[in-house]
Structures are given as structure tokens and as C-alpha cells.
Chains A and B, each alone.
Chain A
């Protein structure tokens, strides 16, 4: 009897399914997101305006923009300008773009403008980018009164590939409620599981830095995937803030346990001369590049393991004997990178799973 009932249901399902008609073209015409190599954040507003936050010093006449559109939709600037090329547009002034749906009937008009902001000098780790499509925390600092804006970067999107995270708190980099003031950032060195072992990436240190993460390099050359620095128009003097650190119990080197070694965290900032807007230091040369002029770094022997907040106050010290050119400084040719990591040698996959670093209320003291 039950079998008969099931077969009747199946038959009906089959009859209905056979009536599925040919798919029609998508009617959606919209910009869903904006990204680009020099764009801190692309804010798509519901009134069909888009604001691209870029650092001061970024060349607006040739801004690389990638518009994420509704499926099948296409985008065209209403007026093509001389500087425009593929995915690169002249944003010296705001522009009007037309998005056409796949069906060719629905059109939406967007006004896109770029706003140049400066790097903030205070970091509170209170605000996260709200997006359902990102399963992990992304921090940004916004101080509209001083036109300061910055989005922090992390290796979370690389960790996502390991499929180890079931929730946002399983990622190496996340927000935590127990900050010194309000919320803070929590960095945890994570096991990368079987997928990580397969590609010889045994662990993932929690990290947070100013710069960008190059996902295409994440699996082949992870140290090169973390790119540090944004244009900075002032001379930094000190990097101050608060941290809490506990190293994980078992230290491993290339996946093998090493007795007697204890993990260390890393806090540093570098100020360097960039050859071009695209020129960035990465994990291979972040503290060793000859382009670095000033370097502030926590000494390993100064790291305190504690459950209480501890102050760090790191002076920027001159390296490589180079001088700072004032006109180049004003033109945005120098970049500043700030890096926090729960395992100092995490880039080479050495460290202890479980090492945890909390950071809050960071301040960048600059020469006025």
C-alpha cells in the first residue's frame, strides 16, 4: 500500500518535472559588490550609488575596479573616457554606469565615485564588514570626521579553502567580545586538517595586517599571498597598543613535533618606499627588504605570556640608511604595513596550534 502511494507521488513528480519549461534569461540588473587592487571598500548603496574608498595617494585616473554583477548582467560606463581600459576606469570625477540584465530589457543606472581616505592612526577593532556571503570576520576602521578609512586584511579567505571552519569562530582571525575597551581582535593558530597536510601547509597562524591577500598565491606560495602596506603620508614614530598572548602546547615544524620549543607571537610595522602603486612587500621580505626605511618590531624576549592585557610600545627605527623625501611622502610613494600574527614563523607553517593573541586599542604615533 505504502509502495503504491510512493509510486503515485513519484509519477506525479515525474509528470510535473517533464513540464519544466526552457529557462528564460535573468532579469536582474544590479551591482552586488565592487573590489579592486587599491580599493579598501566598495560600498554599494540601495539608492544606486557606489562609493569606492581608496587610500590617499592612489592614482584615481587609473583605478582598477571589478564590478560583481547579477548573473548574466553586463556593465558599461555611460561615457567612455580616454584613460579607461579593461576593468580600469578614470575616477577623477564620479561616473555613471549602466548595468543591463541578461534579458536585455532591464537596465539600472549607478553613480560611482571614488573617495580618497587616509589611514587611521587609531585602531579599535569594533566594526565588521556586514556581508552574508563572507563566512568569517572582516574588520574595518572608519573615522568619517577625519576622513580616515581602512579595511584590515587576514588570511581567513585562504583558511576557508581548508573547509575546517564550521563557524566564524573556527577561523584563525576573528572578533572577540572581551576587549580592553569594547571588542578586540583574536588571532588563533589553527590546524589546517588533512587538506592542509596534503599541500604541506600544516597550520594557519591567525593574522591581521594592512594590505591585501592574494588568493591565487594562497596554495602555491602562501608567504607571497600576504601583501603588506597602504600609501601613508606621515612619518610614523611609534606603534602602541595592548596584547594578551598564550602559546599553544605543542610546537611543530613542518608538521612534526619539536620538543623544547615555545611559540611566539609577532607584532611589527614597516614603512617603505614603493616603486609604484602596485608595489607591495609580502611575507618573504616584509622585514628584510632594502626598500624598508623604518621598522618597528616586538623583540621575542619582550613577549609576555599572560591572561591580562599588556602594553606594547614599539619605536620605528631607521634601517637601510635611507632618508625620507618630503615630496615623495606627499605624493603617496611611501607605504605603511602593520602586521599581527599568533605565530611568528606561521608563514613557514611552524608554530603551535592553539597559540592565541589578542590585540586591542592600537595607536600609531606620527610626526606632526
Chain B
């Protein structure tokens, strides 16, 4: 629900820009252009994953991976430094989803599952793990832009994200939990026996990372773009110790951009 409110807010914001732009189309854009400013609206779909780098030894195989439906919309402004419009700086505001589903086989993987009576059981899991990551962020990308020719634009910079809503959960199956530690007792899960886990509340609010992008001018106002975002800090809070390795979101976002 919360997420929908943000999207609605952003849609209205975008609509305002568009309307304002249309009203003063000629005048406004001409003024902006003469001051080396450009505006752009982007909408895209992302594919990628939230993954440890490199894969830790705990992960023995990845049996299934499917990306979620990762929508993103972004509005940005570009300021050229030079009159020939080769170098500039781009600042934007982006709403995005970073989601994926995986099934993997793990060995001695830090885990905290819910048991039947709602209590939690922590320890080391060996067996199958299904993971669902579904995070929504509002992000502020800041990057240097380089226009190679009238068709191609490239950018390189950083982004800062704030987690609007986060879901990192799943279940474990076909294996055993050694609880509370490596010398503890064994709890088996076989057949249809499953246990769930939910680390959503341990997700970090602030994220940052690198991003690199390319844009190709297809028509006068319409560009095709691709942006690669690479998270640089663990998606979990520093005091969260259950998952013993860091996870970084790495996503490629592709879509269309409208330039005013």
C-alpha cells in the first residue's frame, strides 16, 4: 500500500512536469537549452540479482533463478559544462524495484527459521533454500555525462538509495538445521516439511553504489537506454550476523526515455 502511494505521488509529479513543460513548451525548453539544461523522463524494466560476491563456499549450487518484475521510473536533469555539449552532470530521482527469486543448495549456511509455535530457531542450514527478494527504493543518481555524437550518450556516477519497502524472505526445504551452532542438535526437514524465514526487518535503509549507463537516440524525443547499477554496501544492517556474507544488488535496467 505504502509503495502504491509513492508511485502515485511520483506519477503526479511526472504529470506536473509534463504539463508544465507542454504549457511553456517552446519558451521553457528554449530557455533551458540556451542555459545548457536538458530534462528527461525514463521508464524501464530491470533484470539482475542480489548476490554475494564472490559466491561464498556455503552456496553449493543454484537450482533456479527468476528475476522479478522490476519497474523503474526516473526523472532527471542534465547540465552541460561546455557549449559544445560534450561533458555534463546529470542528477535525477528514481523509483525502482529490485527483486528476484532463487532456489539454491547450501551447506552450513547461517539461518534463522520460524518454528511451529512462532518462535525462532537459529543455526546452520544444509539443504535447499528458496529466497525471495523484493525491495523498492527511491534513489538519487548523480553522474557525469558524455555525449559522443548526436546518437550516443554515456554516463558514469553513483547513486544513493533509500529503502521504501523491503522483503527478504523464503523457506528452507530438504535438509537439516544444526541448532543453535555447529555442535548443536539436528532438526530435519524432509519431503513437504518446510520452514520459513524472514529477514526483511534486517534490511539496511540506505544503500549506495556505482552506476553506468548508455543512451541511444532513436527519435527526436525518444531514447533507448540501459543502466547498470552495482550496490557497494551490504543490503543488510551491520549488526545482522545470521547471513555471514554480504549481499549486493546488481541490476541492469533497460527502457525508453523521453527528452523534452
What is A's interface to B at a CB cutoff of 8 Å? 8-9, 12-13, 16-17, 19-24, 26-30, 32, 44, 46, 48, 70, 99, 101, 106-108, 132-133
Contact = CB atoms under 8 A, between A and B. Distances in A.
Contacts of A46: 184-185
B54 A70 contact: no
Contact of A16 (B65, B126, B183): B65
Interface in B64-101: 64-67
A302 to B, nearest CB: 43
B178 interface: yes
A104 B47 CA distance: 42
29 contacts: A9-B65, A9-B67, A12-B47, A12-B49, A12-B67, A13-B62, A13-B65, A16-B49, A16-B51, A17-B61, A20-B61, A20-B62, A21-B54, A21-B55, A21-B57, A23-B57, A24-B107, A26-B108, A29-B182, A30-B185, A30-B186, A44-B185, A46-B184, A48-B183, A70-B186, A132-B187, A132-B190, A132-B193, A133-B190
Most buried by B among A16, A29, A108: A16
Given A16-B55, A17-B61, A19-B55, A133 B188 contact: yes
Interface in B85-135: 107-108, 124, 126
B56 interface: yes
A78 B65 CA distance: 47
B61 A32 contact: no
Given A22-B57, A106-B183, A28 B51 contact: no
Contacts of A21: 54-57
Contacts of A70: 178, 186
Contact of A132 (B55, B57, B178, B189): B189
A20 B59 contact: yes
B178 A12 contact: no
A362 to B, nearest CB: 32
B60 A23 contact: yes
Contact of B124 (A20, A23, A27, A133): A27
Interface string B35-55: 000000000000101010011
Contacts of B56: 21
Given A16-B62, A132-B190, A108 B183 contact: yes
A28 B47 contact: no
Contacts of B57: 21-24
Interface of B: 47, 49, 51, 54-57, 59-62, 64-67, 107-108, 124, 126, 178, 182-190, 193
B55 A28 contact: no
B186 to A, nearest CB: 5
Nearest 8 pairs of A and B residues by beta carbon: A108-B183, A132-B188, A24-B57, A27-B182, A19-B55, A13-B65, A32-B186, A106-B182
Nearest to A105: B182
B183 A29 contact: yes
A28 B65 contact: no
B62 A101 contact: no
A87 B208 CA distance: 57
B54 A19 contact: yes
B54 A30 contact: no
Given A20-B55, A132-B190, 8 more contacts: A12-B47, A12-B67, A21-B55, A21-B56, A27-B108, A30-B178, A46-B185, A108-B183
A354 to B, nearest CB: 27
A28 B124 contact: yes
Contacts of A20: 55, 59-62
Nearest to B105: A20
Contact of A23 (B62, B107, B178, B187): B107
B185 A101 contact: no
Given A16-B65, A132-B193, A101 B55 contact: no
B138 to A, nearest CB: 26
Given A16-B55, A23-B107, A133-B188, A9 B183 contact: no
A167 to B, nearest CB: 10
A30 B184 contact: yes
Contacts of A26: 107-108
